[in-house]
A = this chain, B = another copy of it.
Amino acid sequence: MTLKSWLSSANGDSDFPIQNLPYGVFRDDKGARMGVAIGDRILDVGRVDHGLAPALFAQPSWNAVMAAGPAIWAALRSRLTELLSDEVHRAAVEPHLVPMAGTTLLMPFTVAEYTDFYAGKNHAVNVGTMFRGAENALPPNWLSIPIGYNGRASSVVVSGTDVVRPWGQLKGPNEELPRFAPSRRFDLELELGAIVGQPSEGMVSVADADQMIFGYVLLNDWSARDIQAWEYQPLGPFQAKATATTISPWIVTRAALEPFRVSTPQRERPLLAYLREPGPMLYDIALEVALAPEGKPESVIARTNAAELYYSAAQQLAHHTTSGCRMRVGDLLGSGTISGVDKTSRGSLLELSWGGKEPLTLETGETRSFLEDGDLLTLRGVAMGDGYRIGFGDCAGRVLPAIDLPEWAKD
């Protein structure tokens, strides 16, 4: 029988049943602190008898718990499950349940460093086809390396943060010199973010890398395609990806996702030993992207699944350590854009509108090639269990107009 909480709002079709117990940080009139989502409430976890050192809950961030290691992660989850399912604890715990509706959700952890990968094969093929033609769609290294680049940790913001359209150098194919202008091809990227909960020195196996991962969030890697096109050779994306990276507010733990493990697809080229997986390391998580023009209802513009990835976060993390690169508590790894095979399952407007050539028609009748000012973009994710669902909470951000250019930047 499926385990239930004594809190009725946690049962039924809640995104936050007792099987989820995701970790976040919330603020109300008593300040910012660590919380656990349960039904329509947030458990003020530092105030209950969690059985762990109080120092782990002293800061509004999950970094200290992450640093404490997997045994503590397991002990906390086990204790929370007990506190929220056994009626005997109800009287002691209930006073520390805060209605979610009256709170503001903050960044759940401090991002140490942020790396963004490129592990969605359909996405890589789509983008490659547009930029290099179908013959050369996949870069030669793609089937051997989970390729990625270092992103900017300071760009990571929590869901609900507005995103200001960036300025940048743009150069059209027929222009001789670049102009400084607001991006006109501003886009989203639907990704899963893996949070590294343990540090490493030296090379780490895929199995150990998997155990280092504390949990997952949804991640929108906002991307200025026109800035990227001019800047990215030969050193990779830089300012095109530095405006903002939005994450969903709740860290869904690896433990909560265990029942949803699925294997990466059949390898099209054998992997080197250090990248081979000892078991299934992707997750069956249904994903969707919704776009709402300002003041209008939203349209779901894409539906796909995290199982579409070709490389797992564990493989990416193992690869990340090969050179001796030290990994740290709070490192965030973006999966790369997740796209399915068919046209309605693509995780970016670049793919959905095929580079702007086939604008998308929203349910409101408006069309979109790329994001317009005022657009509210929302990513959602859910893993469907046996009698429960594991939700991530919305990963949302609204596009605000570019700033007025300061005098000194005017040509």
Option from B149, B152, B239, B327 in Cβ contact (under 8 Å) with A235: B149
C-beta contact mask, A311-335 vs B, less than 8 Å → 1, else 0?
A: 0000000011011111110000000
C-beta contact mask, A218-237 vs B, less than 8 Å → 1, else 0?
A: 00000010010011111111
Q: Given that A144-B177, A150-B238, A154-B113 are known contacts, is A244 also in contact with B324, CB under 8 Å in the complex?
A: yes
B203 touching A243 by the CB < 8 A rule? no
Contacts of A149 in B (CB 8 A): 149-150, 235-236, 238
A273 touching B167 by the CB < 8 A rule? no
Q: Given that A148-B238, A237-B236, A274-B408 are known contacts, is A230 also in contact with B141, CB under 8 Å in the complex?
A: yes
A148 touching B235 by the CB < 8 A rule? yes
Question: In whole angstroms, what is the CA distance A166 to B275 when docked?
Answer: 16
Is A403 in the interface zone, CB < 8 Å from B?
yes
Is A169 in the interface zone, CB < 8 Å from B?
yes
Contacts of A171 in B (CB 8 A): 141, 144
Is A133 in the interface zone, CB < 8 Å from B?
no
Rounded to whole Å, the gap between the CB of A315 and the closest CB of chain B is: 13
- In the complex, the count of this chain's copies comes to 2
Per the 8 Å Cβ criterion, residues 226-276 of A in contact with B are: 227, 230-240, 242-244, 269, 272-274
Q: Given that A150-B149, A236-B236 are known contacts, is A272 also in contact with B178, CB under 8 Å in the complex?
A: yes
Option from B139, B144, B230, B243 in Cβ contact (under 8 Å) with A234: B139
C-beta contact mask, A114-134 vs B, less than 8 Å → 1, else 0?
A: 000010000000000000000
Q: Can you show 20 pairs from A to B with CB atoms below 8 A apart?
A: A118-B235, A139-B234, A141-B169, A141-B171, A144-B169, A145-B169, A145-B230, A145-B231, A149-B236, A154-B327, A166-B323, A167-B203, A169-B272, A203-B406, A205-B408, A205-B409, A233-B234, A239-B319, A239-B320, A243-B323
Chain A residues at the B interface, C-beta cutoff of 8 Å: 112-113, 118, 139-141, 144-145, 147-155, 164, 166-169, 171, 177-180, 202-203, 205, 207, 224, 227, 230-240, 242-244, 269, 272-274, 319-320, 322-328, 403, 406, 408-411
